[in-house]
Each structure stands twice: as C-alpha cells, then as structure tokens.
Amino acid sequence: MIDFEPTEEQSLIAETVREFAKSELRTLAREADEAAKTPSEVLLRARELGLVAHGLPEEYGGGGARSAVTGALVAEELAYGDLALALAVLAPSLLAVPVADFGTPAQKAALLPELISSASCPGTLAVVEPRFDSDAYRPRTSARREGSSWVLEGAKCLVPWLEGVRHVLVLARAADELAGFLVPSDAPGLRVTPEAYMGVRALPLAELALDAVRVPADARLGGVDGPDLRALIARGRVGLAALGVGVARAAFELARDYAKERHAFGAPIATKQAIAFKLADMAIEIDGARLLAWEAAWKLDQGDDATREAALAIHQVRRVALEVADGAVQVFGGHGYVREYLPELLLRNARGFACFESLTLV
Amino acid sequence: MISFDPTENSALARAFYRRMALEQMRPISRKYDEEEHALPVEWIEYYWRNARGGAPGSPGGPSDGFVQVCIQAEELCFGDAALYLRMPTAALGGSAVAAAGTPEQRERFLRPFRESSHPIWGAMAITEPNAGSDSAAIQTTARFDPATDEWVLNGTKIFCTAGEGASQTEGGFVVVWATIDKSLGRGGIKSFVVPAKTPGMRLVGLEKKLGIRASDTATLVFEDCRVPSGNLLGRPPKPKSADEKAAEATRSGDKGFKGAMATFDASRPIVAAMAVGVGRAALDFTVEELGRQGVPLRFDAPPRELTAVERDVIDMQAELQAARLLTWRAASMMTRGKPNNLEASMAKAKAGLAVTKITQKAVELLGPPGYSKKLLVEKWMRDAKINDIYEGTQQINQLIVARRILEYSSSQLR
C-alpha cells in the first residue's frame, strides 16, 4: 500500500535525533565552522545514541535494524542541525556499511566489532577523485593484480578523515569492475593530506595520493573476486539526498522565521507576496525532494536496484538545497551575508552536494 | 509505514485505465483536438458502457484509497486529458455535492450517475467574467422566494468545464456558486444544484482554447433560474415562517464557502494527478523517441559528463516524480482523513508548473517533429498548460501554501 507515514519507531527515532540536532549540532555549528574542527564531545554523544550501530548486524554488536528509510530520516534530522557535524557523526557508516553488505566473514569479524564499539572512527571510505569528471561508478584510481597482491594507483579527495582512522576503503577500478580495497592508513605509498573546502569546514577531510600502494589479495572487499560495488553508490546518493533535504529545511525554517520577525514598510516582510511566495516554493521543493529520497531509500530496502531513483533524488537535491539556501540568504538580505547568521554557512554547505559522492551511506 | 508499493487493486486499475488510454483515447486524440466542439460520441459511449463502474479489482481488498483515484486520473490523462474531462461523470459537481451536500442530497444527485440509461454529466460553475481566483467576489445572486420555497439565481458563469453536457443532458446538474447576501462577503456564498434543462439556465457559448479542446468549457447565463430550496447544498432548512425560513436557510449554508473550498482539497490532488498524466505522456514519448535515435540516458554518469539532453531528461523525470509523489501524499492524507489543505495545494502548484515545463521541453528536445502536428507532443504541451491555471492558479496555490507555512490568515497575507 502506498503510504507516507513513518512507523511509530521511526517517528520516535527521528524525534530523538531532531532534539539532538537542535540542541547540540545547531548550537555548535557556527563555532565548529569557524574553528574548522568537529568538537569531540559531539561524536561521543552521537555514539551514545547509537545512530550508526543501530543498523549494523547484531552478531557484531549492532542493533540489527537496518533500514535505508530510517537512515534517510536520521540523516535529514542531523543535517537539519548541521551538515558538517552530521557527516562527522555518521562517518563510521562509511566503512561499516560496505563491510556489513559486502565483506567476507573474516573482514566482518576483523572490522565490524571495532567500528561498532569504538569511541573514535576507525574506518573511512574514499570515492571522489579530484577531477571535474570524478565518476563514482568508474574511478580512475586503478587496482592491478601483481602476484598475491593488489597494487593501487590514483588520487582521491573529499575523504572524511576523523581521528583514529586505521583503514580506508578505496574504490578503484579492477579489470573493468568497481571494486573496494581495504588500505591501512599507514600503508607505504599512501599519502594523506588534509583538505579545506568552502563548506562543511568542521568535517576533517583528506586528499589521498596512492602511489603503488600494495595490499594483500584478501584486502579486496568481499574476497579475491569481490562483488561489484555499484549498489554502494546508490546508498551514498540516498544518504546525501536526505542530508541535502535537512540542509534545505534548516535554511527554509530560518528564512520563514526571520521573514515573520523582520519588518519593512510597517509590516513583516513575510506579508509581501514576493517573500511569501518564495517561501512557499521552498517548502514545496523541499517536500518533493524528500519524497524522492524516501522512494529511493524504500527501493534499497526492497533489495532492488535503486540506481535510477537514487540518481533522480540526488539530482533534485543538488538543485533544491542550493536554491533554498540561496533563498534564505536572500530573505535575510545583508544579514544573510554576514557570519553572525547561519544562511551564509548553509549556502556554502549546500553547494557541496554538486561534488559530494558517498560521504555517508544508508 | 512508508511504502511506494501500490496495492493489487491499484495495479489492476492502472493496467485497466492504461489500456483504455492507449486503445480508446489515443487513436481519437488528434481528431477531437481538431474538431473542437464535436461530441466524441464513441468515447462517451465506450466509457459509459465499460468504465462507469470502475476498474476490475477485489472489492474489500486492500486499497490505496484516494491514491488509486489519482492513479486512475493519471492513466486516463496519459491517454488524453481533454477526453478525460469529457467523460460522462459527476466530475467536480460530484465532488462539491460529496463535500458539502447532505446524505439525502448525495443520494438524490449522484444516483443517476449509476443508474441513468444514457450518459450524463456534472459540473461546477464558480468563475465569472469578473471573479476568477478571487472566488469570494462572485456576483451571481440567489434570492429566496418563500412563496414557492425556491431559490432564484441570476448571473453569468464562465469557464465551466463540462458545462455543455451538464446543463443540456437530462439527469445531470451544475453546481452554481452564488451569494445570498453580498453584505456577508464570503459568508454569503452558497452552492446550489441546478439540474440540467432547468428553465432560466442557458448555455450561451463554448470557449475556443489553446488546448484540452475536446473538453466543453461553457458560458452559462442564469436568468431567474429557479431551484427548490432543497438544492442548496448543506443541511436542509427546517423553517416555520417565511422569515425564519430565510434566516434558517442562511445558516444552513454554514458549510457554504468553506464547504465549497473543501471541495478543492479533494479535487486538487486529482487535478495534479491529471497533470502528471499529461506530463508523463510527453516525457515517456520523448525518452523512447530519443532512445530510438540512439541518444543515451545514463543514471550512473557523473553530472559533468552528461549531455545537455540527458541532463534535461533526468531533470524532467525528477520533476515529474516529485510532482507525482506530492500528489499521492496529499491523496493518502485524504484517505486517512487528515486535513490536507496545505499538501493538496503543494501538489497542485508543483504538478501544474512541472508538467507545463516538461511538455514545453519535450517539444524542444524533439526538434521540428516535436513541433509538428504529426505527433501528439505539441498537443500535450497545449493541454498541459491548463493545469497551471484551473482549479486554482499556480499563484493561488502558492498563496495558500504561504498562508499555511507562515500561519497567516487570508487578511494577514493577501
């Protein structure tokens, strides 16, 4: 039956996360952005909430309640607080989800317990490449077989690199397949350089140079002839789409509230159609984008190929998040341009969706 | 639980109406677009005989409720939006009776649509030459005549969809909005059921339009047109004296303007679904045609590697799906009995604009053949535009959405 109502449990989870996002992420957002640093207490608090562990397999200490729809609801709420901190909070999913979905029993046993229980973030994922035509499905980074090893060559960027990273899953092209390789953070030939971007400044990001990085045969995710990882990209897009909806909703609500408070010509500016209609369009676009994200997430939960739905969702969100954030800056006028208020931060963050890929996974 | 899986009944309905769209409607689409005011007899008869009772399905089985109604509207308008509007149904008149009428009125006015031996139509007449979106400003009057226990209507209504069928074919009716007291403003506005062929109701013209040409868009004039007191939609008056009668009649319309407005919460998702149907017709055709010509459509290519055409098509598909899902959400809330005024307007605003742009883009992407009358794409573009106008223009729906999200009354946000 076609239905748009989250379950009671999902509503409860979303409500809890919303509270957390409002009281902690939003409160810390500006300071974290200025300092370009994720406050460690946020990560600890998120760990206590069990946001990532909730969906991971029970046998390794997770909650066993995997659902991309729930993941999308959680991601939206977190990003409603702050995108950079949301990405930091969700970062353990970057290695945990691929290992849970595609890992060999040995890889699961070696990595999942720590990913689930650790207070830091022991693993991450490298998908994006520093090129205008960075292609998640067909990376330029290559993996070639040499005896009993794989040799990786290439470059990655936008890799979340929180404290404690010991493994990075590098997506590369092996023969003509999309494959993942578990690379220790101290592997010879791997150079990790911190990066700074226009937005999501509080999230530690790194550029990776892989210069003949050699890993053993069993470092390929899923085993020697590991599975095609294309399905992973859709999980990233759905997660990002939900995050983008959260950013847009934050921008919309700020603009709406400001428009009701700010007076011009003797009345709140929200009473002018030029402003009111802009806000109406924002609300409509946000709801439409959210439903696209939900549909793609639902498709993933059915075990179906969600490539198309995820592509439509992220396509829509790239536009909507940017337009709504820009609209918020515009509604705030000069105040939207100064760093005393949040719209400028939201605009910088929203632009990122144009190049983000797999910065979180549902 | 969030789900996008239609029930078995919806799936059956979709297949049933899609087949009808492709086999019955498409072959005569062009003909009735060109013969603007000709009666599409074969379609009307076909519908009355084969589809009036609804789609096959398991009664009592799980249902998507109003979402299924939206699926039906989408499929039929995927066939032809104008022929959909020409179908012999109670249409908006029926929605008004259902939303504002008493159980007795519903039975009296809607039963013929199940039992009549010949095709009949319902319609709703709101718009006037000087009152469109501002429906509270209508000038048509209704005066109560205690001597005969009748309401006497005077005024002119334009843009009345299905107005020819509803006013001229015995058994049908037109729901007419009129004011019983101009000094009461919108509080004085009530709706009245005027049966077809009632003396004093005259069909004076049919519009020649950009699109939906097979749909009869009528101008109706009311000159001392008398209807029984029981045709005022709402609770029946229980009067004693003439004065009390008039006073009671006034109060009986407490569902009047609001009731009529509530009709829109029910009808806007359907109109949005109709829009999606037209948009889909153009978009699906465009994708197939481009595919035949070897133009790829990739969902797994990086955005900066997509061709301009691919990007347009992905954009159109995302926009259409967003419109469809907003529509289903508004309909699903209705099924659950939740207020959906905001969501209905969101869906209508999104769908109307999205399909206007999608169909215009389809004509562009297909080049000269898209512009040519050899294909139906140009017709779909003309048909699509009305969705951004009728049943509340884009701007009226934006206004409703804005009032809701800002929690402003209609006097705070004009």
* Nearest chain A Cα distance for residue B4, angstroms: 5
Judging contacts by C-beta atoms under 8 Å, the chain B residues touching residue A288 are 322-323, 325-326, 350
Q: Which chain A residues contact residue B413 at CB under 8 A?
A: 270-271, 273, 276
Q: Over the stretch A30-60, which tens digit does the pLDDT of each residue have?
A: 999 999 999 999 999 998 898 888 889 999 9
Radius of gyration of chain A from its Cα atoms, rounded to whole angstroms: 20
What is the structure's pLDDT at A120? 84
Q: Which residue has the higher pLDDT, A230 or A242?
A: A242
Name the one residue in this structure whose structure tokens are 């290695």: A95
Local mean pLDDT, 10-residue blocks, chain B (414 residues): 96 97 98 96 96 88 93 98 97 90 95 95 95 86 97 97 97 96 88 97 97 97 98 68 53 58 87 98 97 92 90 97 98 94 97 98 96 97 97 95 96 93
A277 and B402 in contact by Cβ < 8 A? Answer: yes
| Contact criterion met (CB < 8 Å) for A354 and B303 | yes
Q: Tell me the mean pLDDT in the region A241-261.
A: 98
B319 interaction partners in chain A (CB closer than 8 Å): 316
Number of domains in chain B: 3
Indicate if A68 and A182 belong to the same structural domain: no
Amino acid (1-letter code) at residue A337: Y
Report the residue of B406, B408, B414 to disrupt the A interface, i.e. the one with the largest count of A CBs within 10 Å: B406
Which H or E run includes A137? none
Please report residues of B whose CB lies closer than 8 A to that of A323. Answer: none
**Residue A84 scores a pLDDT above 80:** yes
Can you give the CATH number for the domain in which B199 is found?
2.40.110.10
Dist CA B24 CA A230 (whole Å): 42
Please answer yes or no on whether B300 and A318 come within 8 Å at the CB atom: no
From chain B, pick out residues whose CB is under 8 angstroms from the CB of A313: 318
- Whether residue B391 lies in the annotated active site: yes
Residue of B nearest to A318 (CA): B303
Q: Is A132 exposed, middle or buried (0-12, 13-18, 19+ CB in 10 A)?
A: exposed
Site from B1, B268, B397 to mutate, A interface, most A CB atoms within 10 angstroms: B1
Q: Which residue of B has its CA nearest to A354?
A: B303
Q: Looking at B256, B290, B323, which one is the last position of a domain? A: B256
Residue of A nearest to B413 (CA): A271
Summarize chain A as % helix, strand, coil (round to 5).
55, 15, 30
How near does any CA of chain B get to the CA of A207, in Å? 20
**What DSSP letter does each residue of B308-341 carry, written as one string?**
HHHHHHHHHHHHHHHHHHHHHHHHHHHHTT---H
Instruction: Say what the pLDDT of residue A172 is.
Output: 97
Pair B142, B237 in one domain: yes
In terms of CA atoms, which chain B residue is nearest residue A230? B300
Q: Which of B1, B7, B321 sits opposite A292 (nearest CB)?
A: B321
Q: Find out whether B44 and B308 touch, Cβ atoms under 8 Å.
A: no
CB contact under 8 A, B302 and A2: no
Domain co-membership, A32 together with A54: yes
At B129, is the secondary structure helix, strand, or coil? coil
C-alpha torsion B20→B22→B23→B28, nearest 10? 110
Handedness of CA B5, B11, B15, B18 (dihedral sign): negative
CATH number assigned to the domain comprising residue A348: 1.20.140.10
Rounded to two decimals, the ipTM of the complex is 0.93
For range A177-206, the mean pLDDT: 97
Q: Is residue A329 part of a domain?
A: yes
Residue B158 lies in a domain: yes
Distance from CA of A275 to the nearest CA of B (A): 9
Give the residue from A168, A180, A302, A155 showing the smallest Cα distance to A238: A302
CB atoms within 10 A of CB A52: 26
Contact at CB, B319 and A316, closer than 8 angstroms: yes
Q: Which of B75, B305, B391, B407 is catalytic?
A: B391
Residue B258: what pLDDT?
Answer: 72
The answer to whether residue B287 sits within a structural domain is yes
d(CA A274, CA A260): 13
pLDDT tens figures, A61-71: 899 889 999 99
What's residue B304's pLDDT?
A: 86
Kindly identify which residue of chain B lies nearest to residue A319, measuring between CA atoms: B315
CB B357 within 8 A of CB B323: no
User: Do A280 and B314 make contact, defined as CB atoms within 8 angstroms?
Assistant: no
List the domain range (segments joined by +) for residue A211.
123-219
Q: How many domains does chain A have?
A: 3
- Segments forming the whole domain that contains residue B294: 259-406
Question: Is there a single domain that holds both residue A51 and residue A15?
Answer: yes
Distance CA B164, CA B59 (A): 34
3-state secondary structure of B61: coil
Does the distance separating the beta carbons of A6 and B1 come in below 8 Å? yes
Do residues B101 and B71 share a domain?
A: no
Q: Which residues of B touch A277 (CB under 8 A)?
A: 395, 398-399, 402
Q: With beta carbons under 8 A apart, name residues in chain A contacting B67.
A: 2
Residue of B nearest to A317 (CA): B318
Q: Cβ separation of A271 and B412 shorter than 8 Å?
A: yes
Question: Is the domain of B163 the same as that of B14?
Answer: no
Say which amino acid occupies A88. Answer: A
C-alpha B240/C-alpha B250 separation (Å) is: 14
The encoded tokens of residue B239 equal 């009067």
pLDDT at B242: 56
The nearest CA of chain A is from the CA of B5 a distance in Å of 5
Q: Do B39 and B167 belong together in one domain?
A: no
Contact across the interface for B322 and A281, Cβ inside 8 Å:
no
Rg (CA), chain B: 22
Give the ranges where chain A is alpha helix by DSSP (H).
8-20, 26-35, 40-49, 68-81, 83-90, 93-102, 105-117, 230-261, 273-301, 307-332, 334-337, 343-351
Quote the minimal CA–CA distance from B80 to chain A in Å: 25
Query: Of A151, A185, A219, which closes a domain?
Result: A219
What pLDDT does B134 receive? 83
Please provide residue B201's backbone torsions phi and psi, each rounded to the nearest 5 degrees. Answer: -100, 120
Q: Which residue in B2, B300, B349 is closest to A307 by CB distance?
A: B300
Among A175, A104, A161, CA closest to A128: A161
- The CATH number for A13's domain is 1.10.540.10
Asked if residue A87 lies in contact with residue A239, where contact means CB atoms within 8 angstroms, the answer is no
| CATH number of the CATH domain containing B342 | 1.20.140.10
Q: Poorest-confidence range of A324-328, A329-333, B97-101, B321-325?
A: B97-101
